[in-house]
Amino acid sequence: MTSLEVRRGGIGLLRDLSFKLSPGQTALVTGANGSGKSSLLRVIAGLAVPAAGRIDWRGSAVHRLPPEDRGEIAYLGHLDGLKQEFTVDENLEFCRSFWKGREPVEPLVAEMRLESYRHRNIRRLSAGQRRRVALVCMRLKPARLWLLDEPLTNLDTRGTEVVIEWLKGHAAEGGIAVVSTHRPKRLETAASIEVAL
């Protein structure tokens, strides 16, 4: 159902890379710094256009997906995408209504242990706490394909465990995930394929 094939020339980051993911699979993209992990995820998300080759999501090229189908893809880059001036709750509320998410916010906030910070501005949170909010925000999108770029950055052990649980749950529901990391050890229990760059 999903055939994924990337060929990227240009600066010559990635070349002749092809892989295919089926429902329920989680791919771990590993490689050294600068090997093109983030570029690969941005191309898959449709933020950048590949120099050659194509990426298909359910049969149509990903960067030409009509807006209403783009809701099926959730991308979390290394920037958190949160507004500093807003509180945790305000950010999450915007996420939910913009993406028309149906998932309830409360359990996710509780899982990430953010209850006591809900009315605090993002500016006043630590980097790890911001990452947690960004991950909850990602979960609020009704997406079937998750693209996570180094999701564990700044997360503590507990946060890492939650992300692993989420990935497993997502796969069990037939979702697909592509996760980049330079420390594959921590995520390998959740991964079914490893793509080494």
Partner 1 sequence: MLDVVRQILLRDLRLAFRRWSEMATPLIFFVIIASLFPLAASPDEAQLRSTGAAVIWMSALLSSLLALDGLFRADSEDGSMEQLILGPAPLGLVVFAKIVAHWAVSGVPLLVLAPLAALSFYLPLTALPELIAALALATPTLSVLAAIGAALTVSLRAGGTIIGLLILPLTGPVLIFGTRATELAALGEPVAGPLYLLASVAVLAVSLGPPITAAAVRTALE
Rule CB under 8 A: which residues touch partner 1?
45-49, 67-68, 70-71, 73, 75, 77-86, 90, 94, 97-100
The minimum distance between CB 84 and partner 1, in angstroms, equals 7
- Nearest distance from C-beta of residue 146 to partner 1, angstroms: 12
Between 99 and 117, whose beta carbon lies closer to partner 1?
A: 99
CB closer to partner 1, 51 vs 193? 51
Counting Cα atoms < 13 Å in the Cβ hemisphere of 164 gives 15
Residue 12 token pair: 């010559």
Work out how close the CB of 195 gets to partner 1 at its nearest, in angstroms, rounded to a whole number. Answer: 21
User: How far, in Å, CA of 62 to CA of 50, rounded?
Assistant: 10
The string of DSSP codes covering 37-88 is HHHHHHHHHTSS--SBS-BEETTEEGGG--HHHHTTEEEE-SS----TTSBH
Residue closer to partner 1 (CB basis): 108 or 145 = 145
Which residue, 92 or 190, is less far from partner 1 as judged by CB? Answer: 92
Of 53 and 81, nearer to partner 1 (C-beta) is: 81
The distance of closest approach from Cβ of residue 2 to partner 1 in the complex, given in angstroms and rounded to an integer, is 17
SS3 for 21? coil
Residue 189 CB, nearest approach to partner 1 (Å):
28
* DSSP class per residue in 116-181: GGTTSBGGGS-HHHHHHHHHHHHHTS--SEEEEESTTTT--HHHHHHHHHHHHHHHHTT-EEEEEE
